[in-house]
Amino acid sequence: MNSFIASSTRILVGILGLAALGRANPVAHNAATATMSAAVSATSSSVLTTATPGAPVSPKVVIIANEFEFGYLEAYNFTTVYTGPLFDQVFACTTNGTICKLACGQELVAASQITSLLLIPGIDLTKSYIIITGTGGVNPKYGTAGGAAISTFGIQWEWGDMFLGADLPTNFSGQYFSSYAQLSPDKYPVTVGTEVYKLNDALVDRFYKVGRKVLYEDVSSFLQDLRATYEYDAARQSPFLSRCDTVSSQIYWHGSVAGENVEYYSNIITTGHARPCNTNEDDQGRLLGLFLGAVHKKIDFGRVAMIKAFSNFDRPPPQLTAYQSRFYVGEAATGPGLRNSWNTIIAVVDDVLKHWKPIYEAGIKPTTYMGDLYGTLGGTCDFSLPANAAPGSVQGS
């Protein structure tokens, strides 16, 4: 291990003690979110009002992140709070009802929170552009810490079986197992549920074109030195907006072994269509809650987008171990990453508001398949293959 990195890392941990709270998988976030109950972000000094139960609101934009991440967004004053049965999160809108935020939890928790949000009388999200944001780790092949990504695919891999170490059959050479028996890891797996969602490619195109014009701030000189030691060109750049995909799970992974496994699985499950770059513990539950809403016509899935900050790399450069990289470099790019991704989102929101009548109100039609693996919203999935469990296995014929 490079001693420059070691000492700088110690300094960094000291200096960025607070920034380290900006984890992609924070226990601290959940605790903070829970204790904030109905209080809205302390960043706004505006007067807060609680809407009368049933009061109508039909926002043009809804932004989803956790409370900590909203602390970095100063462009809007969310002044009106909406409440409803079973809903214990913060849903707050600008005074004119145009832009709202949902400050919620992660993964499974977020799915139930979004479901209860969609059941609040008066809240109409059928025409809302819903932007899932927050932080995640970046695959150094596709992006760099402090940058951001806009994604077409949301993938989760935890509906699988796991064998570790010597228990792995040798022909799987370290790859995770899918839920049902596969003869080899390159076979398309039998899926259990909604392992993948594909968003509206045309909306991603438009948001990417708008977002890539935003000027990004750079990371600290320590992180600039660190990124120069990665093997991949994308990692060595100053922060930029990547166009690549999100993989999320209840477990936050880190390191080259896990990273390569996740990439391998993502490529199999999307037949090579995904570019897996953003690892987090948030998004699949959020997509799941929104997708259920779309199935029941409470939202338009063609208006859902994911724009996430890169708070850290998902694996170490060659001179660090995964442990050092995860726990001593940590999420050191959280601040610049969030500021850059919020600026991207602000540009996108401006575009939505400015072009509402001619473009956004009616919606932007996807040019390829959009939805889950099973064509639930209509159409035929264009990134999956038929699959059968291995003959003779428990689930095979």
Ligand X SMILES: *[C@@H]1O[C@H](CO)[C@@H](O)[C@H](O)[C@H]1NC(C)=O
What secondary structure letter does DSSP report for 193?
S
Distance CA 219, CA 88 (A): 35
Q: Which is nearer to ligand X, 35 or 45 (CB)?
A: 45
Among 2, 98, 319, 376, indicate the residue that binds ligand X (CB under 6 A). Answer: 98
Judged by CB under 6 A, the stretch of 74-82, 132-140, 149-157, 239-247 that binds ligand X is 74-82
Among 99, 274, 290, 345, indicate the residue that binds ligand X (CB under 6 A). Answer: 99
**Can you list the alpha helix ranges (DSSP code H) found in 270-387?**
283-295, 322-324, 334-354
Distance CA 207, CA 185 (A): 35
* Helix (H/G/I), strand (E/B), else coil: 148: strand
Among 77, 113, 246, 334, indicate the residue that binds ligand X (CB under 6 A). Answer: 77
Among 56, 169, 193, 272, indicate the residue that binds ligand X (CB under 6 A). Answer: 169
Residue 225 Cβ vs ligand X, minimum distance, rounded to whole Å: 36
Q: Which is nearer to ligand X, 96 or 368 (CB)?
A: 96
Q: Which is nearer to ligand X, 46 or 367 (CB)?
A: 46
Distance CA 379, CA 397 (A): 29
Q: Which residue in 198, 207, 204 sits closest to 370, CA to CA?
A: 198
Q: Answer yes or no whether residue 395 interacts with ligand X by CB under 6 A.
A: no
Judged by CB under 6 A, the stretch of 72-80, 195-203, 270-278, 340-348 that binds ligand X is 72-80
Residue 53 Cβ vs ligand X, minimum distance, rounded to whole Å: 23
Q: Which is nearer to ligand X, 48 or 295 (CB)?
A: 48
Q: Which is nearer to ligand X, 77 or 135 (CB)?
A: 77
Where would I find the beta strands (DSSP E) of the chain?
49-50, 61-65, 80-84, 87-93, 99-103, 129-132, 135-138, 148-151, 153-155, 160-161, 177-178, 196-198, 241-243, 245-248, 276-280, 304-313
Residue 48 Cβ vs ligand X, minimum distance, rounded to whole Å: 11
Distance CA 116, CA 111 (A): 9
Contact 146/223 with Cβ under 8 angstroms? yes
Distance CA 215, CA 213 (A): 6
Q: Which is nearer to ligand X, 331 or 351 (CB)?
A: 351
Residue 15 Cβ vs ligand X, minimum distance, rounded to whole Å: 29
Distance CA 216, CA 237 (A): 12
Find the length of the chain. Answer: 397
Size of the site for ligand X (CB under 6 A): 15
Contact pattern for ligand X over residues 263 through 302, marking x by CB under 6 A:
----------------------------------------
Residue carrying structure tokens 């693996």? 373
Among 7, 49, 50, 184, indicate the residue that binds ligand X (CB under 6 A). Answer: 184
Judged by CB under 6 A, the stretch of 19-27, 92-100, 134-142, 248-256 that binds ligand X is 92-100
What secondary structure letter does DSSP report for 85?
T
| Touching ligand X, residues 1-60 (CB under 6 A) | 44-46
Residues that bind ligand X (CB under 6 A): 44-46, 75-77, 94, 96, 98-99, 169, 171, 183-184, 353
